[in-house]
Amino acid sequence: MLRAAAAALAVAALAAPSDAGARGARPGRRSMVVLDGERVPVRWTDGDTFRILGGRLAGRAARLSGVNALETYGPVHRWAGISPWALLAVAKAAAPLAAREVRRCEDQGRDDVYGRLLASCPDAALALVEAGDAMVFAVDAPADERLLAAQRRAQAARLGIWAGGAPPLVPTSLHSADEP
């Protein structure tokens, strides 16, 4: 009974209009990353994507490798009985968390299917997964064990996207059938 009440409070807190101020930065707030040794200004557009605002790669969007955060363009997600609005609150908390500190990132030397530079930003990925604001995502290689351990802790604590528990299978997203 106590656990159910705690979970209900957690979901209610997630459904609040915004906790971005409490998490450190406003969504879309500019911050800095050190990308391949170059300190550049960026704007985090969601938890796993940032736009590079300066330096040799100015104008490019970058996608974190190894994690997947929820989309921020509306209450589009359905997950473990959590309301779409609560999940949108989780999605909107991810960018401020990523922007809170200067993150060290490395270009992975390839783009994703949307033309975004794939970047490894281990500290950002770990912070997002620990908070339950992102999940581990691996396609071409095994998942990072450190991230998997952090995800298990977030699931056990029912943080962020795991507030309603961890479903047995985790689809990351569904897009148009004609998308590559």
CB-based contact 36:16 (threshold 8 Å): no
Does 3 score more than 80 pLDDT? Answer: no
Query: What average pLDDT does the structure give for the chain?
Result: 80
Decide: 139 and 118 in contact? Cβ < 8 Å.
Answer: no
Q: What is the pLDDT of residues 106-118, one digit of tens each?
A: 999 999 999 999 9
pLDDT tens digits, 75-122? 777 777 788 888 888 889 999 999 999 999 999 999 999 999 999 999
pLDDT at 171 over 70: no
Select the highest-mean-pLDDT range: 18-22, 67-71, 106-110, 176-180. Answer: 106-110
The neighbour count for residue 143, using CB atoms within 10 Å, is 15
- pLDDT at 34 > cutoff 50: yes
**Long-range contacts for 12-15 (Cβ within 8 Å, ≥24 apart)?**
14/82, 14/86, 14/87, 14/89, 14/90, 14/160, 14/163, 15/83, 15/85, 15/86, 15/89
pTM of the model: 0.78
